[in-house]
Structure 1
Amino acid sequence: MIAIARKNLSCLVLSPNSFLCNSNLHFLPPIHFFSTSRINTLAPCADIHDVLVNKHQFLPELASRLPKFRDPQKADSVLSFLKENSFTTAQLQKLVMYDPRILGFTIEGLESKFKVFQDLGLSSEEIAKMISSNERILQSSIAKKIIPNLSMLKGLLGSNDDVARLLKRLSWFVVHDLEKTLMPNVEILKRCSIPMERILHLLYGLPRAFLVKSDIMRRSVDKAIEFGVPRTSVVFIYALCVFHFTGEGMWEVKVQTLRDLGFSDDDVLAMFRKQPSVFRISGNKMKNKIEFLIATGKFSVSSIVACPVALSYNIERRLGPRMQILRL
């Protein structure tokens, strides 16, 4: 019997085509879930569905999509631990559907990661929100990724409270390669004569802008300077964000849209220097807002150039209702 079991197990591991051709399987568990020391767990276990649905209130259709090669007791202990640490059912479903291997994690490993964040002063609710918004945190190594990144952030920001404040804004700092993004980008801005106090203010305000590759940051800085945005101005970082995430082709489309509506190139530059974040919206949305404002008879091209921030507001929720009030 042992020989037969070993033969079957060998076929199971070495013949993946049989799994790939099976239309009833929606997910192929990683190979490391299979072990010759745990042959008894290879048989499909219907109890895992009961644990997920009946005890932890998972949606049946979601639970049925998970692989059956699970230890229901271990899965139950993992989910119970996370619930005790303020995870909601919706957050748990999101985590498990993103990576079902979470059900096989050890409680000791989870506890050690939670303690690192608790030591920063984060509450269990804040940790749950942070992890559920960035599932890679649970997959990341404490020694190789999480602790080095947190130490780097503390050295830059100065205290655990400041690190916690930044992670509440954007949890990607836990798992990103900060040595290739954040740290060189801070140095680039310092070389632009931007005070460190201002850089940190910008970091809290627009954290995503600091997680691009350093060559993108250099290119964006050069363009912002070329467009005449003052490096000491608070809008400088907003100009960088526009260039970070807007390619040359998309930029030309937006500029041409403004030209077609009667704006000169000088008008475009003036608008960008005053309110660069306006240029993050699509060309179509920009066109619709300009046409809406001009159609009221109260706005002209020159008035929009003088106050471009109007283009950052939603027509239905902000511009339209206010125009109705002004008509009264």
Structure 2
Amino acid sequence: MDSSSEPVTSQLLCRHITSEISENQHNFTVTYLINTCGLSPEGAILASKWVELQSSERADSVLEFLRNYGASQTQISKLIRSRPTLLSTNPEKTLLPKLEFFSSLEISNADLLKTLAFNPHLLLVSLRNRILPTYNFLRSMLSEKNVGVLFKLNSGIFLQGHCKHVVPNIGLLRESGMPQPCISFLLTRGTRVLMNKLVLNRSREVLKTWGWSEDDFLSAFRKNPWCMIISEKKLMQAMDLLVNKMGWSSGMIAKYPVALGLSLERRLIPRCSVVKVLLLKGLINENLNLGSLVKPAEKQFLEIFVNRYLGEVPELLSVYQGKVDIQDV
């Protein structure tokens, strides 16, 4: 054989052996994820793209650690399916400090594990650089108990951190005259609002064109802060529907700002269409409160405003479903 061909032959042999080893490791990882972690075959194949196990030793130690901490097999499966790289961590160095910290937030072990199963990346984010700075910021405004409440309601703030949006938004609220107790309540219960970029000043200007006073604006914000992250276009469409087409006053809408955050296509327009038909036919009082329209769940709304009047207006359900126009009833 020509000696010049030997390097090529060696390269091919090496490539084959390397490929075989890699495939065996991949098969081991998939099998481990299925048999030990409880993932489905499809889930295991997807997860294996993010972690490659050389052996079961490290992964076994992670699973044993989680079990000893009280995690159920279902919770462990959720954790590994969402963050398979957990299997390659050192549980004593990476997981234990975070679990000990979160356990200090005046929440039960069951609530902690439930939150972590929902948001497993909390076990991988830096405790020193992200979690503790955010915690210290929250404690400057909230009690330890309310930080625990916030953690259960929206643990995502410990991932995103407080600097990008939360701090600037709180500054904006203070400039707008919102009292500190209201800001603290919003931080605890409506954290997601503050984690988005507020369009507070733009919303204020849009709503003032519809006759809202500064008191209307602040009152509406306290009741439903979500209405202040709605786009200008959505605000204009909702106000046009409620004021111009339905005849409610701006003051009425300020009392029920939740209406501004409802989906136009799925909720607001169908309900307004039904109520408009009933008003035109004189079947309901023209002084109907806006809250009566926006507060009921769908089943309750259908019972109160649709099913009850099908005898007088057989097409009412079709109006609600968008199959029949108001003028055709």
CA distance in 1, matches of 2:185, 2:52: 49
Give the conservation status (yes or no) of the 8 Å contact 2:37–2:77: no
Tell me, what secondary structure is at the counterpart of 1:179? coil
Aligned positions of 1:176-325 closer than 5 A? 176-213=160-197, 216-220=199-203, 223=206, 227-228=212-213, 230=215, 234-238=219-223, 240-244=225-229, 246-258=230-242, 262-264=245-247, 267=248, 269-284=250-265, 285-296=267-278, 297-299=282-284, 302-304=286-288, 306-315=289-298, 317-322=299-304
Alignment-derived partner of residue 128 in structure 1 = 113
Could you tell me which amino acid in structure 1 is paired with residue 233 of structure 2? G
* Aligned residue-pair number: 287
TM-score by length of 1: 0.73
Give the AA of the match of 1:194: M
Aligned-partner Cα distance in 2 for 1:128–1:223: 43
Q: 5+ residue gaps in structure 1? A: 13-17, 19-39
Give the deviation of 1:170 after TM superposition.
1.0
Cα deviation, residue 310, structure 1: 2.3
Identity of aligned residues (%): 20
Distance in 2 separating the partners of 1:146 and 1:96:
21
Matches within 5 A, 1:19-58: 43-44=24-25, 46-58=27-39
Instruction: Indicate which of 156, 161, 172 corresponds to 1:172.
Output: 156
Cα drift, residue 126 of structure 1: 1.6
Output the amino acid matched with 2:273: E
Letter in structure 2 aligned against 1:151: N
Partner SS for 2:33 = helix
> Structure 1, residues 40-88: CA drift from partner, whole Å, max 9, x if none?
8885254434433333332233223332721322222222322333434
User: Normalized against structure 2, the TM-score is what?
Assistant: 0.73
8 Å CA contact retained: 2:83, 2:121: no
> Secondary structure in 2 aligned to 1:166?
helix
Q: Deviations along 1:287-313, whole A, 9 cap, x unmatched? A: 21123334455435x434x33352232
Amino acid at match of 2:150: L
Partner-residue secondary structure (3-state), 1:180: coil
Equivalent residue letter for 1:312: K
Query: Structure 2: which 5+ residue stretches go unaligned?
Result: 1-9, 310-329
Q: 1:165 offset after TM fit, Å? A: 1.4
Query: 1:41 touches 1:69 (CA, 8 Å); kept in 2?
Result: no
Match of 2:46 among 50, 54, 65: 65
Q: Which residue number corresponds to residue 116 of structure 1?
A: 101
The aligned amino acid for 1:100 is P
Question: For 1:222-269, what per-residue CA distance to the aligned partner results, in whole angstroms no more than 9, with x for missing partners?
Answer: 55666325269653234542130x222233333444467x334xx352
Question: How far apart are residue 156 of structure 1 and its match?
Answer: 1.4
Superposed displacement of residue 212, structure 1: 2.1
The residue identity in structure 2 corresponding to 1:57 is G
